[in-house]
Amino acid sequence: MAYIDPDAQREYQRHWRDRRRQEWLASHGSCAKCGSRENLQIDHKEPKLKISHRIWSWSKERLEAELAKCQILCQKCHIEKSVEEKRKPTEHGTHKAYANGCRCSDCRQAQRDYMQIWRQASIA
C-alpha cells in the first residue's frame, strides 16, 4: 500500500534503510583493524571496485554481492585508510615536489627551471 503523504513514505524508507544497516553491522562484528564496536562504517577494500555507497535499499542479492567487497572499520580507522589511499608518493625532480616542501637538489633544479620559464612567459 502506498503512502498518501510522500514525506511519511520518505521517513519510513529512511528508518528502514538505517535499521537494515545497523542490523547488518551488529551481526558482522567489529572494526577489522582495531576491534572497536563504536562508530562502525563500511569500507570497500578496493575502492576501484565500488559501485555505490548508497547500497542499503538494494535487493538482498545485490546488497550481499556489494558487501562481499567490503570490510567493517570504525570511523577513525576508515579515515586513516582513506587518507593513506589518497596520499601519493613524491616524484622528485618536479616543481610540484618543491612546492610541497622537498628541497633535494633535483627538486631545487626543477624549481629553477620552472621559474625561468615562468619569467620568460610573463615578459612576453
**49 with 110, same domain?**
no
- Beta-bridge mates of residue 44: 70
Domain enclosing residue 123, as ranges: 89-124
Grid cell listed for 2: 502506498
pTM of structure: 0.63
Co-location of 54 and 112 in the same domain: no
Query: Are 81 and 96 in a shared domain?
Result: no
**Does the residue 1 lie in any domain?**
no
Kindly state whether residues 80 and 98 are assigned to the same domain: no
Quick one: 54 and 78 in the same domain? yes
By CB neighbour count within 10 A (0-12 exposed, 13-18 middle, 19+ buried), where does 87 fall? exposed
- Residue 121, C-alpha cell as written in the block: 612567459
Q: What pLDDT score does 124 carry? A: 63
32 in a structural domain: yes
Report pLDDT for 96: 85
Residues 55 and 72 grouped into a single domain: yes
Instruction: Please state the domain count of the chain.
Output: 2
- Pick the range with the lowest mean pLDDT from 1-5, 8-12, 89-93: 1-5
Residue 65 domain-assigned?
A: yes
Q: Cell digits for 123?
A: 615578459
Distance, CA of 58 to CA of 97 (rounded, Å)? 44
Higher confidence at residue 29 or residue 108?
108
pLDDT digits (tens, 9 = 90+) for 43-99: 999 888 888 888 999 999 999 999 999 999 999 999 999 888 888 777 889 888 888
Q: Does pLDDT of 108 surpass 90?
A: yes
94, 113: one domain: yes
